Amino acid sequence: MKKSVFLGAATVATLAAGAAMAGTADDVKARGKLNCGVTTGLAGFAAPDANGEWKGFDVSMCRAVAAAVLGDPNAVEFVPTTGKTRFTALASGEIDLLARNTTWTFSRDVDLKFEFIGVNYYDGQGFMVPKELGVSSAKELDGATVCIQTGTTTELNLADFFRTNNISYEPVPIETNAEAQQQYLAGACDVYTTDASGLAATRASFEDPSAHILLPEIISKEPLGPLVRHGDNEWGDVARWTLNALISAEELGVTSANINDIASSTDNPEIKRLLGTEGTLGEMLGLDAEWAQRAIAAGGNYGEIFAKNIGEDTPIGLARGLNAQWTDGGLLYSPPFR
């Protein structure tokens, strides 16, 4: 009873917040800054550097939106959020956009009243084991001790996977990724399981990364995407099509290096529409014609952002995999700019 009263009050407050802020895009323009929720620190995705400047894969999404809407990729106020505070921060209007490696799930989309604007990283839960264990498949992990973060979806996925394969395991509950790394290295568990991108980042920080392998099985779907509040479709469109512009730019071969040349010289009508030299797509979004040019110039197209922050040349060293363009056998598929 108490809980429902509380939730009711919270809902009313949230609805009031939503109603009063009908135009997030207008608010952002009036403020001159985009309030973007990011994680408090996840290698490759978002972290402040020694000068306090935020860098990372999710951070680039915030900068692209800021560049599209405000014309300045640095006009972003980064609001660090934890796993517990992120949704309230968005619902209450403290932030305009949440780009915090958040898994798109039914209940978050429908029940929590958010709008996922797309997927910027297709992740999945994987396993890391020491090479000397001599295991090549997760199905051989019968009886293994597994380090697992408590209270996450990974915990439930793990239980499902071992039950469906009819093998047993012994969980070693841990609280944070930092603790997990220590426990795993100290040999408190045979296996560490979390999102594959996190495993790759963790492995990269080891003294001898080659002594550990990631098993081929990916046991869950974790589509990570930026999200906005329900009920402000104009703002949702701006964010969604900024992400699509980055993805389309890669597909069409537009990079931050050649964007100025291409904008003036191209004959490809789709590129012309994307870059605003033809058509009125920007106007339809409530922005100017060159919004997508600025978004792409801010940090590059999707491929450039990926390569710079988490790609194979970085210490994290993630392969494109599912995150390749559909033309390369991946899942990235932007609707056409038409």
Partner 1 sequence: MSDVSFVRTEMLQEQTPPASEVGIIGWVRHNLFSGWFNSILTLISLYAIYYVLSGIVPWIFQSVWNANSLTECREIMMATWGSTHGHACWAVINDRWLQMLFGFYPDHLYWRPILALVLLLIALAPILYSERVPSKLLYLTAAYPFLMPFLMWGGTIWGPISAALGFVIGWGVYTVLSKQLSGLLGLVLGVLATVIWWLVLSGYVVGAMDSILPIGIEAVQSRQFGGFMLAILLGVVAIGVSLPIGIVLALGRQSDLLIVKYLCVGFIEFIRGVPLITLLFVASLLLNLFLPPGTNFDIILRVMIMMTLFSAAYMAEVIRGGLAALPRGQYEGADSLGLNYWQAQRLIIMPQALKISIPGIVSTFIGIFKDTTLVSIIGLFDVIGLSSAIRADTAWNGIYWELFAFIGALFFVVCFSMSRYSMYLERKLQTGHR
Interaction of residue 204 with partner 1, rule CB under 8 A: yes
Residue 213 sits at the vertex; the CA angle it makes with 210 and 215, to the nearest 5 degrees, is 165
Residues 6+ apart with CB under 8 A from 136: 215, 216
Q: Per CB under 8 A, which region of 65-73, 74-82, 250-258, 273-281 contacts partner 1? A: 74-82
Q: Which of 318, 282, 308, 251 is nearest to 63 (CA)?
A: 308
Residues 1 to 30: which contact partner 1 by CB under 8 A?
Answer: 9-10, 13-14, 16-17, 20-21
Find where tokens 């498949």 sit. Answer: 137
Q: Kindly state the number of chain residues that form the binding site for partner 1, as judged by CB under 8 A.
A: 47
- Over the window 155 to 194, marking each residue x when it contacts partner 1 by CB under 8 A and - when it does not, the resulting string is ---------------------x-x--xx------------
> Is the Cβ of residue 10 or residue 156 nearer to partner 1 in the bound state?
10
User: Do the Cβ atoms of 308 and 314 come closer than 8 Å?
Assistant: yes
Of positions 2, 3, 84, 338, contacts partner 1 by CB under 8 A: 84
> Is the Cβ of residue 206 or residue 255 nearer to partner 1 in the bound state?
206
Interaction of residue 205 with partner 1, rule CB under 8 A: yes
Find where tokens 């009050």 sit. Answer: 9
Q: Which of 75, 115, 110 is nearest to 98 (CA)?
A: 115
Tell me the β-bridge partners of 47.
Answer: 55
Which pair of structure tokens corresponds to residue 303? 């491929």
Burial class of residue 168 in the structure, from the number of CB atoms within 10 Å of its CB (0-12 exposed, 13-18 middle, 19+ buried):
exposed
Give the single-character DSSP code of 210.
G
Find where tokens 């809902």 sit. Answer: 11
- Over the window 279 to 318, marking each residue x when it contacts partner 1 by CB under 8 A and - when it does not, the resulting string is -----------------------------------xxx--
> Is the Cβ of residue 160 or residue 312 nearer to partner 1 in the bound state?
312
Which stretches of the chain bind partner 1, using CB under 8 A?
9-10, 13-14, 16-17, 20-21, 39-50, 52, 77, 79-82, 84-85, 88-89, 91-94, 176, 178, 181-182, 201-202, 204-207, 314-316
